[in-house]
Amino acid sequence: MSRVIWEPQPGSQTLFLSCPIFECLYEGTRGPGKTDALLMDFAQHVGQGFGSAWRGILFRREYKELADVVAKSKKWFYRIFPGIKFLESASDYKWRWPDGEELLFRQAKKPDDYWNYHGHEYPWIGWEELTNWANSKLYEDMMSVCRASVPGMPRKYRSTCNPYGVGHNWVKARFIEPAPRGVVIRDAEGRGRVALHGSIYENKILLQNDPDYLKNLQAITDENKRKAWLHGSWDIVAGGALDDVWSPRVVIPRFRVPSTWRVDRSFDWGSTHPFAVCWWAEADGTEAKLADRSWAPPRGSLVLLNEWYGASKPNEGLKMAPRRIAAGILEREDRLLKDGWVAGRINPGPADNQISAVAQPDTPTIADEMKGAGVVWTESDKAPGTRKIGLDLLRARLAESGKDHPEDPAFYVMENCRSAIAQLPVLPRDPDDSDDVDTDAEDHLYDAVRYRVLAAKKRGPIRVADSVISSSMAVRRR
């Protein structure tokens, strides 16, 4: 009689290993046994006659993060599969079974890392701690190599994670928000994906062997981390660049800008990536009339009054010519004036300095093309360190916006600016430099905002509140 060495525990582990859907996320609390289940999802198809065609690859962002996954695999695989070998060299770093099956362990950080695998064939691809990737680009690109040339062989795209981390928001948008756990989500092509939820309370073995593990989770003082790791909650603030200082007070009703307030625009260029145009009103201390009240924010406060976000889908641009963008800007400004949302002149504001770069001698720049169509820009501040300074200044303004009675210049967004409201609160920090935003994320509208915040700095100082600095430092310590 054969001895059972490992079997899935009832509940989420069993569901994950039997899931027939191509793309499956195993998410939830810490401790339900997600990593073991991920490894066994590949291993259950070993010895089924596929031989060397059954080939998998398991990713983490850093090689050092793979150590725990490899250790867990060694705990089980040597005992389950006689004759198996683990090849330890950095160039190999994989399991090889006697019949030729292989499971590779690899590091991948940036979208360009996809090109290390272009043209490969992996019928099984796994992602450990999916929320460690700031955006979905690499994850989606690698689907192109999840393929099988052997009829009847499974194709499986598998991942695990807890809520929290720099990729919290895109993972939530892809798997959690569209449907309840266990309900299959279909895209436009009919491809299915599903999220399965696991809880530490399912893992009877862990709770029996290490009862203090649950107590450790219950003792976490960071409320959002405790909700994520103990309860598997996705409704948390997840350590982004702005979400801890973003407040409901930031979003305000649309109103007619007083004629004495300065109105201008900012611009971040994009072709294959999105472009962003932001129109601004800068308060001068006089009152504005909101729907239900008079309102006079501190002098120098910025109000995003309109936007144009040039995207075909997330993080992909419209590839519009500069003159067409300029024409669209003038059309929107004419509408703002005719509809009475602004009065008087709309001034030039800062744009990405890339538009003035000369691609070839004797050819007009993007700025030249737009100027010829009637739209002029000023230069943005791109001096050394201004990326981080811009983030600190925006955080300081948002902290003021969250107060009942702000004293220093604040930052507001009119409710019609839907892209800004959707993107800014979930903007991730750079996983390698928490003082900056992740430039691989959808940061184009943020860049247009940052240019304007830095331009305002030239006309007057803004105090970076101690609470904002403390929050930023707390993120760095994590």
Domain boundaries, the chain: 12-231, 248-477
The predicted structure's pLDDT at residue 169: 79
Instruction: Return contacts of 233-237, CB within 8 angstroms, 24+ apart.
Output: 233/163, 234/163, 234/168, 234/172, 234/176, 236/163, 236/164, 236/168
- Residues near 128 by beta carbon (within 8 Å), at least 6 away in sequence: 35, 38, 58, 59, 60, 65, 69, 159, 160
The predicted structure's pLDDT at residue 244: 82
The predicted structure's pLDDT at residue 371: 97
For residue 66 the two structure tokens come to 């793979």
The predicted structure's pLDDT at residue 477: 29
> What distances in angstroms separate CA 294 from CA 15, 190, 257, 290, 297, one per listed residue?
57, 51, 12, 6, 10
Note the pTM of the prediction, 2 decimals.
0.69
The predicted structure's pLDDT at residue 168: 87
For residue 30, report the phi and psi dihedrals to the nearest 5 degrees. Answer: -75, 145
CB atoms within 10 A of CB 165: 20
Please choose, from the candidates 264, 241, 298, the residue with its C-alpha nearest in 3D space to the C-alpha of residue 446: 241
The predicted structure's pLDDT at residue 439: 85
- CATH code: domain 12-231 is 3.40.50.300
12-231 matches 248-477 in fold: no
Alpha-carbon span 211 to 47, nearest angstrom: 37
**CATH class name, domain 248-477:** alpha beta
The predicted structure's pLDDT at residue 3: 81
The predicted structure's pLDDT at residue 2: 67
The predicted structure's pLDDT at residue 389: 95
Please choose, from the candidates 333, 285, 276, 274, the residue with its C-alpha nearest in 3D space to the C-alpha of residue 307: 276
Please choose, from the candidates 391, 441, 438, 437, the residue with its C-alpha nearest in 3D space to the C-alpha of residue 173: 441
Alpha-carbon span 413 to 249, nearest angstrom: 9
Alpha-carbon span 348 to 337, nearest angstrom: 15
Q: Fill in the amino acid letter for 199.
A: S
In the predicted model, residues of the chain with pLDDT beneath 70 are: 1-2, 239, 458-478
DSSP element (H, E) containing 60: strand 55-60
The predicted structure's pLDDT at residue 442: 86
DSSP element (H, E) containing 59: strand 55-60
